[in-house]
Structures are given as structure tokens and as C-alpha cells.
Chains A and B, each alone.
Chain A
Amino acid sequence: MAYSNKVVDHFEHPRNVGSLDKAAVNVGTGIVGAPECGDVMKLQIQVDDANNIVDAKFKTFGCGSAIASSSLATEWIKGRKLDEALEIKNTDIVKELALPPVKIHCSVLAEDAIRAAVADVTAKRDAKVEAS
């Protein structure tokens, strides 16, 4: 199976690799995994007070498609509002990266990671509002 040029590009030059402060109230962290291959993906977002995603980072230990999917996901969510980030569907990632059927689960992982990160930061903020 050959990877598309876009996958290779993201794999060789991944965007936004790294970590944000997991403890910060304005940072949401999503950690998801695909047990069939043992891949694990961490996607983090930092939001401002108006719910804009001002930064996004990821770390993925897995195959090229999983790395490319999460790299692309961070590119796409940066600058979006939280609810707009949730509009990204795994099928968009499949299309953009021309993923073959056996690698579709990598794009599902990236979508799950976005959802988990958004849910995390939303829950943190709700908790903060309640506490104050």
C-alpha cells in the first residue's frame, strides 16, 4: 500500500507536534487509542475567552496515517471556535489525505481526539464557572 503525497508530507513534516499545559483551565486534552494497532494519540487545544482555539498540539505514537490525520486535525482546528471544531468529520480527513480503507480508523481516531479535547476544556470551564 502506498501512502498519498499528503500523508507523506504530514508524516515527514508534522505540524504542531508537542504538548500544552495539561493542568491549565484553558487547555483541553484528548487522549484516544486504536487497540487493533496499539496506536495512541494525544491532541490538545488552547482556547481564549471567546472560545476560539488559539493553539493546538498533538503527539501520536502510531503509523504514518495516524500521525498525518492528527497533524492535519491540528491545522484545521486552529483559529476555529470550539463548536466549529466539532464539525470536522473523519470523512473530511480521509478525503484530504486520500486514506485507503484500511487506514480509515486513523481518521476516526483524529475525530475522536478533537471531540475528547473539546469535551475536556468545556468540562474544565464549566467546573470553574461553578466554583466561582
Chain B
Amino acid sequence: MSSQDISVPVKCLDCRCELETPIVCTGCHKLYPLSMDMDYFSLFQIPRRYRIDVGELRHKFLSISRNVHPDFFGAASDDMKDLSVHLSAELNEALRVLIDPVMRAGYLLELSGGTSASQDRSVPQDVLMDAMELREQLEESSPDPVVLASIKEAVDRRRNALLAAIGDAAEKLDDGAEATQVQLRQLINSVKYFDNLLADLPAG
């Protein structure tokens, strides 16, 4: 798998327009079913890598979604209606995964083969100890806004460091090194603890 592996644009079978995405012709709205070799990146025709242009992703999502939206196919055959529903659902799921940094990294890990983060389940001991310590601080100091702010800062700092490391590891996946996969799995598993901590911090 190459990080710049974008399929060559082909022409629409009906109107001969060049296809911007493999699933629909933006010229005549002919829909094409998904094929096995398509991944979420190829749906949007963006490079298959961690560091993506999120603005471009959103823009492409909107323009492609508009063209496959079921509202467009009210008068079409049942097959086309079904395909439009199916493709729309797939596009929504693709956006949901690609727009989230951790899910995007997990998806790249999945595409690179091997064990997924959720199958692996390993978390470095220091992450668990940090999470436990922050949990205990939170439990003991709940009403004090100053202490709460310092806990939140510590959680944010740990989480941001993990996100940066996830980005670096996900960009290195193409090396094919198993060590990178192992590291990325642990990082993805680790970030969950700090997400949960953030969610459990009182608002404000």
C-alpha cells in the first residue's frame, strides 16, 4: 500500500465525464456500486495517509453526498434507490471515521493488516498509573475549581501528547514495520483513558 495510492480517474460509462469519485458521476448522477478494493480514502479521492486536509475532506463529502442523496433518486428504479441509500450510509460512515484523528489512525492500522487495537488491548503500565492517579485526584478534590483546572490541564497535556504520537506513528505505517503497528495500537488504546477522564470532568 502506498500512501499516495489514488486510483486513476475513469470516465462515466454513460456520459463519459471524468469521475471525481468512484461511486457517482457528478455530471449525470449515475451511481456505481462499491467494490472490494475501495477504502474510505478512495471514496473521496484523497491520499491514503494520516495527515489529511480536513477542509478538503468536508468539501468533498458535501459535494459527493449531494450527488448520491436518496432525494435525488425518488423517480429512479428500486435498484438505484437502494444503491443511493447504501452509498449515502457508506459516505457518512467514511466521514465519521476519517474526520476523527484517533479513528482515522485506527482505520489506517486496520488497512495495514495485522491485529487491531481493540484485539490487542495492551496499554503501557505508565499510562494506567497516570490515569489512576488523575482519577484519584479527581475523586478527592471534586469541588475545588483550582484543583479541577490543574487536573484538566494534566489530562489535556497527556492526551495531546498521545494524539501527536498517534499522528507520527500512523504516518510511519507505510514502513511496514511491526514495531510501528504495535506502538500505534498501544497509543490508540491509551488515549481512551484520557478521553474518559475528560468526559468525567465537571463542565466549566
Contact = CB atoms under 8 A, between A and B. Distances in A.
Are the chains A and B members of one assembly? yes
A5 B104 CA distance: 41
A35 interface: yes
Given A40-B128, A40-B193, A35 B117 contact: yes
B121 A35 contact: yes
Contact of B193 (A19, A33, A42, A59): A33
A19 B133 CA distance: 12
A77 B166 CA distance: 39
Given A31-B125, A33-B123, A38 B196 contact: yes
The A interface is mostly helix, strand or loop, or mixed, namely: strand
A42 B123 contact: no
A35 B125 contact: no
A36 interface: yes
Output the residue of A19, A31, A34, A35 with the most chain B CB within 10 A: A35
Contacts of B196: 37-38
A37 B189 CA distance: 10
A40 B133 CA distance: 10
Contacts of A3: none
A42 B128 CA distance: 9
Nearest to A38: B196
Residues of A in contact with B, size category = 10 to 19
A85 interface: no
A32 interface: yes
B131 interface: yes
Contacts of A33: 123, 127-128, 131, 193
A36 B121 contact: yes
B142 interface: no
A35 B118 contact: yes
Contacts of B131: 33, 40
B135 interface: yes
B113 to A, nearest CB: 20
B128 A31 contact: yes
B174 to A, nearest CB: 25
A53 to B, nearest CB: 21
B67 interface: no
A33 B118 CA distance: 13
B128 A59 contact: no
29 contacts: A19-B136, A31-B125, A31-B129, A31-B132, A32-B128, A33-B123, A33-B127, A33-B128, A33-B131, A33-B193, A34-B121, A35-B118, A35-B189, A35-B193, A36-B121, A36-B192, A37-B192, A37-B196, A38-B193, A38-B195, A38-B196, A40-B128, A40-B131, A40-B132, A40-B193, A42-B132, A59-B132, A59-B135, A61-B132
* Smallest CB-CB A-B distances: 9 pairs: A35-B189, A38-B196, A38-B192, A61-B135, A31-B128, A33-B128, A40-B131, A38-B193, A33-B123
